[in-house]
Amino acid sequence: MFKLGPEAKHSTLKTAGRRWKDWKAFLTRNLIFKYKDKVPAMLDRPPDAYASCYKPEDWKEFVAKRCSPEWAKKRKKMQDIRSQNTYNHHAGRGGVKKVEEKLVKELGHQLTIYDRADLWIRIHTNKNGELDGPAQEVADRIKLMIVSSGMGMHYW
């Protein structure tokens, strides 16, 4: 048992909920969907590595829920939504906030509209310094807008 203040309690429960969801997604992706068609007998009981974490009846219920038609319908809907994400970001674990803080530190002032355009390009640039397909078109339009306005960009 832990005693937490109100602000810590909220963030701790929020993080715990996110981790629990991620754990269930990990099990679903790497165990259930991986073996449900190939070796369905493997799903009768929890894997040895996780046997101490799950009662056999809880594991069966979890697997049954993930293999249900309702779950398949929900999964398909979410996959369709995800497939519509055209501009994938490459901000890493720190997210956009971390990239933004780094840019503010580099510039030494709060971000202007031009700096935000620079930020968008940085976030959507991969490790090789390239922009993915449609993101390149947007970056080109941003560069054109910046050049035509007479303002310089920091990124190029």
pLDDT tens per residue, range 65-83: 999 999 999 999 999 998 8
Where on the phi/psi map is residue 103: left (φ > 0), alpha (ψ -120 to 50), or beta? alpha
With a cut of 60, say whether residue 156 has pLDDT above it.
Answer: no
User: What pLDDT, on the 0 to 100 scale, is given for residue 152?
Assistant: 56
pLDDT greater at residue 11 or residue 149: 11
How far is Cα 43 from Cα 31, in angstroms, rounded to an integer? 8
User: What pLDDT, on the 0 to 100 scale, is given for residue 133?
Assistant: 78
User: What pLDDT, on the 0 to 100 scale, is given for residue 153?
Assistant: 52
User: What pLDDT, on the 0 to 100 scale, is given for residue 16?
Assistant: 93
Q: Are 24 and 32 in contact (CB under 8 A)?
A: no
Q: Where are the domains of the chain?
A: 9-84, 92-149
List Cβ neighbours of 109 (8 Å cut-off, separation of 6 or more): none
If you average pLDDT over residues 123-143, what whole number do you get? 86
With a cut of 80, say whether residue 148 has pLDDT above it.
Answer: no
User: What pLDDT, on the 0 to 100 scale, is given for residue 150?
Assistant: 66
Task: Please state, for a pLDDT cut of 90, what percent of the chain lies above it.
Answer: 27
With a cut of 90, say whether residue 142 has pLDDT above it.
Answer: no
Mean pLDDT of the chain: 86
